[in-house]
Amino acid sequence: MALGKNLRRSIALGGQYAGLIAFAIFTTFPFVWALSVALSADPSHIWDFPRSFLPTDISLMWFERVFKEMPFMTYLKNSTLMSFWTIVAVVVISVLAGYPLARLRFPGRGLIFVGIIATLMLPSEVNIIPNFITLRNFGMAASHLQEVLHLPDDWNMREWIGLNSYFGAIVPNFATAFGIFLMKQAFEQIPQDLIDAARVDGATELQIMWRVLVPVSAPSIAALAIFTLVNAWNDYLWPSIVMTGKEKLPLAVGVFNDLTGPFATSTSLVMAAIVMTVVPVLIFFAFTQRYFVSNLSGAVK
Amino acid sequence: MKTSSSYTAIAYLFLAPALILMGIFTFWPVGFNTYLAFQDYSLADGTSTWNNFAHFKYIAGEELFHNALKNSVLYLLIVPVIQLSALIVAKLVNNKLPAMTFFRAVYYIPVITAISIAAVVWSNVYKYDGLLSWFLQALHILPQGQDGQIDWLGNPHIALYMVMLFTFWKGIGYYMVLYLAGLQAIPAEVEEAAILDGANVFQRFWKITVPMVKPTILLCTLLCTIAAMKAFQEVVVLTKGQSDTYTALFYVYDQGFGSNHNFGRAAAAGVVVTFFCMILAIIQFRFFGDKK
């Protein structure tokens, strides 16, 4: 009887792990194949399954060729720049907006909060048309200003805030309902005594926020920053519409355009570029993955 | 002590950046889009003229738009499949056995990969001599040799389902994490008691797990339904609308930024999509509004 029970339990456990491994293969097989192809100096086996899951003649030559044949470092620089400023803007705006919604009483609070949450229901993808026109107008206003003020021609202010500008490619992502909601939730957890004590000491609202609320909510802010980084790094559609010049493209757009365009001469080269694009995200994710789980769990509650 | 009117000023000062940006890039577009839908917009000089519902009349009679709507409705098939799979996977990783953190992380990898980058690999998987053909041939589901090699994204009968499979692969980790949060709220004693009563795995899943995570199932189903109705980036990066894979929002994108740059017509189609999303949002409020 005892033996039968143990046997049953180990069969169940084996079945569970078999399911887990099968599903892990489903989620990772494209990347495993890409890695193996990228590492193989000899491309003759890449369509020869399952042989192609093991690299032939391991070498890094395809990675070197990616650097030579694609402006990979330019894309990397653009992605870094755009992600960095998106994180700064999202965190500052969400913290600023979260504080009054969580801790201050003022007329219109309920309405503003409902309005912000309502944006989650709108299909934001439809906004690409009006936002494109808005940015074009921004650019025209900027170049008009440049003319009026007789600023030097080579400043090209149209491309500072209009189409084909870093600013234009990231600015619609700055104010997000998710970020404001997350910071509001975090600030609501803080005991009122802490805020009252600071107020008695004569602190201004900005000081209360910066000296009291922000340090205590550091984990939530970190979670928001990490979440924003991944979204900004992976953003494909909007930058692909706004950016017209190749020299300003982020990785997700530049690598895709190069790999599906006329440069895509060799599958090995393509896969090497893919691996190089995915690996930084994976390394970052490996260190921060607990934030993703806790972050989303918080959103559900 | 400060008066409440000074709080009002401070509150609005702090909210100003968020409200201004949301105003310009979220609320204004809704109004401007509706305006554009009734106009002939010229991209060259930025002028627009009233056209007496011409865009709506056009898309109401256009087969391409009808197909796009039909495909968007077909896309909803993915909702129950993702939800059931995500719940089962969440159940498998919701325990204290070794390596569970590893598996959770691995299942989340597709979610944190850029859609464009993942699509490049998947278009190789879907090639006629690619991984998918080989896999099904190895299982003897497809005939060996040339006959069993299918151009998965080139065949109008199956291309849309292949795009849906890609969405499934990309999205399941996200819903798994949401279900994991729901499952962790179930006390372990409930399941232990059911095991003692002799309930088998399937009975425990349907009679205990499913009822207890019902709120999460509702939330995820609605999130997933809205996401499925809005699906189009997959189409942009995988097929560019070829082989009968237009979805409603891909039609919007293609009219605006494809070859004809017809912003007015794109806006009109966008208004139709927004209308359907609003209906879903109202349903969502009916479900969750009174509980909060």
Same domain as A206, residue A154: yes
Same domain as A274, residue A154: yes
Q: How far is A96 from chain B (nearest CA, A)?
A: 5
Q: Cβ–Cβ of A132/B119 closer than 8 Å? A: no
Name chain A contacts of B280, Cβ cutoff 8 Å. 121
Task: Specify if B25 maps to a domain.
Answer: no
Instruction: Pinpoint the alpha helices (H) of A149-217.
Output: 158-161, 166-170, 177-188, 192-200, 205-207, 214-216
Model pLDDT for residues A139-186, shown as the tens digit of each residue: 888 888 888 888 777 777 777 788 888 999 999 999 999 899 999 989
Q: Where are the beta strands (DSSP E) in A64-121?
A: none
Query: Closest to B10 (Cβ–Cβ): which among A134, A136, A205?
Result: A205
Length of chain A equals 301
Number of domain units in chain A: 2
Same domain as A222, residue A120: yes
Query: How many angstroms separate the Cα of A67 from the Cα of each of A3, A58, A161, A269?
Result: 60, 18, 30, 10
Name chain B contacts of A270, Cβ cutoff 8 Å. 120, 124
Task: Specify if A106 maps to a domain.
Answer: yes
Task: Specify if A286 maps to a domain.
Answer: yes
Name chain A contacts of B112, Cβ cutoff 8 Å. 230, 234, 281-282, 285, 292
Give a three-class secondary structure readout of chain B.
CCCHHHHHHHHHHHHHHHHHHHHHHHHHHHHHHHHHCCEEECCCCCCEEECCCHHHHHHHHCHHHHHHHHHHHHHCCHHHHHHHHHHHHHHHHCCCCCCHHHHHHHHHHHHHCCHHHHHHHHHHHCCCCCHHHHHHHHCCCCCCHHHHCCCCCCCCCCHHHHHHHHHHHHHHHHHHHHHHHHHCCCCHHHHHHHHHCCCCHHHHHHHHHHHHCHHHHHHHHHHHHHHHHCCCHHHHHHCCCCCCCCCHHHHHHHHHHCCCCCHHHHHHHHHHHHHHHHHHHHHHHHHHCCCC
Q: How far is B237 from chain A (nearest CA, A)?
A: 9
Which pLDDT score is estimated for B3? 54
Task: Specify if A111 maps to a domain.
Answer: yes
ipTM passes above 0.90: no
Query: Closest to A236 (Cβ–Cβ): which among B15, B33, B233?
Result: B233
The pTM (predicted TM-score) of the whole model is: 0.89
Q: How far is A39 from chain B (nearest CA, A)?
A: 15
Range 155-184 of A in CB contact (< 8 A) with B: 171-172, 174-175, 180
Task: Specify if B126 maps to a domain.
Answer: yes
Q: Which of A59, A83, A101 is the last residue of a domain?
A: A59
B212: containing domain: 56-288
Interface test with A, best of B28, B39, B116, B126 (most A CBs within 10 A): B116
As given in the structure block, the two tokens for residue B150 are: 């299918």
Q: Cβ–Cβ of B181/A300 closer than 8 Å? A: yes
Q: What is the DSSP letter of A57?
A: S
Query: Any bridge partners for residue A40, and if so which?
Result: A58
Q: How far is B131 from chain A (nearest CA, A)?
A: 7
Three-point CA angle A178, A179, A183, nearest 5°: 120
Which pLDDT score is estimated for B241? 85
Residue A207 belongs to domain with CATH number: 1.10.3720.10
Same domain as A86, residue A27: no
User: Going residue by residue through chain A (301 aa), what tens digit of pLDDT does each one get?
Assistant: 456 778 888 888 888 899 999 999 999 998 988 888 888 877 777 777 777 777 777 788 888 888 888 888 999 999 999 999 999 999 999 999 999 999 888 899 999 998 998 887 778 888 999 999 999 889 888 888 888 888 777 777 777 788 888 999 999 999 999 899 999 989 998 888 888 888 898 888 888 888 889 998 988 898 899 889 989 999 999 999 999 888 899 999 988 888 887 666 788 888 888 899 888 888 888 888 777 665 555 554 4
Q: Cβ–Cβ of A30/B114 closer than 8 Å? A: no
As given in the structure block, the two tokens for residue B125 are: 């998987």
Same domain as A86, residue A33: no
Which pLDDT score is estimated for A264? 66
Q: Which of A36, A59, A82 is the last residue of a domain?
A: A59
Which pLDDT score is estimated for A171? 93
Same domain as A224, residue A169: yes
Task: Specify if B16 maps to a domain.
Answer: no
Q: Which of A28, A59, A90 is the last residue of a domain?
A: A59
SS3 (DSSP) at A58: strand
Which pLDDT score is estimated for B133? 83
Residue B119 belongs to domain with CATH number: 1.10.3720.10
Name chain A contacts of B274, Cβ cutoff 8 Å. 122-123, 126
Same domain as A40, residue A92: no
Q: Which residue from B minimizes the CA distance to A180?
A: B18
Task: Specify if B28 maps to a domain.
Answer: no
Q: Cβ–Cβ of A130/B267 closer than 8 Å? A: yes
- Check if the beta carbon of residue B87 is closer than 8 Å to that of residue B179: yes
Same domain as A282, residue A247: yes
Q: Is some CB atom of chain A closer than 8 A to the CB atom of B37?
A: no
Same domain as A116, residue A10: no
As given in the structure block, the two tokens for residue A196 are: 């009252």
Task: Specify if A120 maps to a domain.
Answer: yes
* Residues of chain B under the 50 pLDDT cut: 1-2, 291-292
Task: Specify if B34 maps to a domain.
Answer: no
Interface test with B, best of A21, A35, A82, A125 (most B CBs within 10 A): A125
Cα B172 to chain center, whole Å?
11
Residue tagged 């503003």 (tokens): A112
Task: Specify if B275 maps to a domain.
Answer: yes
Number of domain units in chain B: 1
Q: Which residue from A minimizes the CA distance to B21?
A: A175
Q: Is some CB atom of chain B closer than 8 A to the CB atom of A23?
A: yes
Query: Any bridge partners for residue B187, and if so which?
Result: none
Query: Any bridge partners for residue B40, and if so which?
Result: B49
Q: Is some CB atom of chain B closer than 8 A to the CB atom of A11?
A: no
A139: containing domain: 69-300
Same domain as A94, residue A52: no
Q: Cβ–Cβ of A130/B32 closer than 8 Å? A: yes
Task: Specify if A64 maps to a domain.
Answer: no
